[in-house]
Amino acid sequence: MKLSMICENIKELQSQLIKQYGLEQLWLNEKPDYIEVNYIKVPKDKRKSGIGTAVIKEIQKYAQDSGKKIILLANPEKRKKSSLNRFYNNLGFKRKRSTDYSLPSHTHTWDNI
């Protein structure tokens, strides 16, 4: 069963995902109408084996079940901007210029509703 189906809240999902996938960092927040992915970091030696994708899919499932969209605060490493864009595009996210100026200009949103 997916972790997202058994977790009661976003902080529980966050700690379960960190444990299960051995993530270096994962910062999630739940707002009244969206889930915020502040940062995800897979350890260097475990990258490119599908962990990042599996984690985002769990978060997408959780968001879908709570009828919320996801906002990503993408903060790419140096020279990794286009790989990060590809990573998120492959997961169905579209870069969207936010009209909410409290959000950074590199914010991505993914509409799951």
Q: Report the interface residues with ligand COA, using CB under 6 A.
A: 39-42, 47-53, 74-77, 80, 83-84, 86-87
Q: Environment class of residue 72 by beta-carbon count within 10 Å: exposed (0-12), middle (13-18) or buried (19+)?
A: buried
Pick left, alpha or beta for residue 22 (phi over 0 → left; psi -120 to 50 → alpha; otherwise beta): left
Residue 75 beta carbon to ligand COA: minimum distance, rounded to whole angstroms: 5
Q: Which residue minimizes CB distance to ligand COA?
A: 52
Residue 33 beta carbon to ligand COA: minimum distance, rounded to whole angstroms: 21
Residue 6 beta carbon to ligand COA: minimum distance, rounded to whole angstroms: 22
Cα 63 versus chain centre, distance:
10
